[in-house]
Copies of this chain bind each other. A is one copy, B any other.
Amino acid sequence: MPKDIRLDAWRALLTAHSAVIDVLASEMEQETGLPIGWYDVLLHLHESDSGRLRMHELAESVLLSRPATTRFIDRIQQAGLVDRVADPDDGRGTFVVMTAEGRAAFARAAPLHLAGIRRLFTDRLTDGEAEVMLEALRRVVDGVRGGSGPDPR
């Protein structure tokens, strides 16, 4: 019986995360020409209810500072995949939205990306394992955000 199997689980999470992400990123770049970060922006826009996100929301989603996000979006806009739209209700705010070209690029890339996740990750798990992982990891996230969530079991 290993001494600290829970710490081993943490390290396995780190290893699996970087191993899978690395491959997904290079496949995305290789097969669609889209940097994974650009895809990530399109994905978040796609999943937002209104199809648009504020600059600072996007910054949080893509894990960049606000200035970096401003310039990141500059480049993606230059490439024609997104546009900036002023918020009519708040003169300070700027929305980012996908262009038709952006939606097309996303539609091309998404199936590839999902296939990668399936091949590298989900196909290796049983439903039971996934259920256990999901519940445990949700507890972890709730704990981090809430400061101190429920203890296990």
Interface residues of A (CB under 8 A from B): 4-10, 12-20, 22-23, 25-27, 30, 63, 114, 117, 119-141, 143-145, 147, 149-153
Contact = CB atoms under 8 A, between A and B. Distances in A.
Nearest to A123: B151
Q: Which 4 A-B pairs have the closest CB atoms?
A: A6-B122, A22-B152, A12-B137, A9-B130
A80 to B, nearest CB: 28
Given A120-B147, A144-B120, A149-B120, A129 B132 contact: yes
B12 A138 contact: yes
| Number of copies of this protein chain within its complex | 2
Given A120-B149, A129-B136, 15 more contacts: A5-B130, A6-B122, A9-B125, A10-B117, A12-B133, A13-B16, A19-B141, A19-B144, A23-B149, A23-B150, A27-B150, A120-B140, A124-B139, A126-B136, A129-B152
A27 to B, nearest CB: 8
A137 B22 contact: no
B23 A125 contact: no
Given A5-B134, A133-B132, A134-B9, A141 B23 contact: no
A48 to B, nearest CB: 15
A16 B138 CA distance: 7
A15 B127 CA distance: 19
A132 B134 contact: no
6 contacts: A6-B125, A12-B138, A15-B141, A19-B140, A23-B152, A124-B136
